[in-house]
Amino acid sequence: MASDYISAELRKLVIQRASGCCEYCRIHQNFSIYTHEVDHIIAVKHGGETTADNLALSCLSCNRYKGSDFATIDQITKEIVPLFNPRRQVWNEHFYLERARIEGKTQIGQGTARLLQLNIPNRVLERQVLMSQGLYP
C-alpha cells in the first residue's frame, strides 16, 4: 500500500521546484493567507505514490477544490477529461491569462479551471489586486 507521508526533504524539493507558487493557479505562497500544501496529483487512494513525480505545490483553494480528483467531465462532450498534471504537462499549453482570469486553451485546461474554480469572483479579485501591484503572475 502506498504511503501518504511526505518527508521534509521531499516537501522542500516540491516547494523549491514550484518556486513557491501554486502549480495550478500560480499564486505565490507570500500572497496567500494559508500555507500552500504539497499535494498528491494522483491521490494515494487511487494508487498514487509519494514521489517527486506525483507531488505538486497547491494553494489551499486549488487543493480543496481538487480533492482526490484526477479527472472531470467535459461540459460539452460529456467525455472524461484528465485534470492538468503539473509534472507531465506545461501550464502555458493548457491555460492562458485573460486579464485576471485563468482560461483553458484545451479540454484539460477548461476542465481544470472549472473544477478548481479558478475564476470565482474572490479568486479573480485577488489576482487583479496582485496584478495591479506587479506581483502576479
* pLDDT over threshold 90, residue 2: no
Of the chain, the percentage scoring pLDDT greater than 90 comes to 97
SS3 116: coil
pTM of the model: 0.96
Q: Is residue 113 part of a domain?
A: yes
- Total count of domains within the chain: 1
* Full domain range(s) for residue 85: 8-132
**Cβ-Cβ contacts under 8 Å for 104 (sequence gap 6 or more):** 94, 95, 110, 111, 112, 113, 114
Dmax (CA) for the chain in angstroms is 47
Q: Which of 13, 6, 26 is nearest to 135 (CA)?
A: 26
Give 21-67 pLDDT, tens digit per residue: 999 999 999 999 999 999 999 999 999 999 999 999 999 999 999 99
* pLDDT over threshold 80, residue 99: yes
Q: Is residue 3 part of a domain?
A: no
Give 6-17 pLDDT, tens digit per residue: 999 999 999 999
Residue 40 Cα to chain centre, angstroms = 11
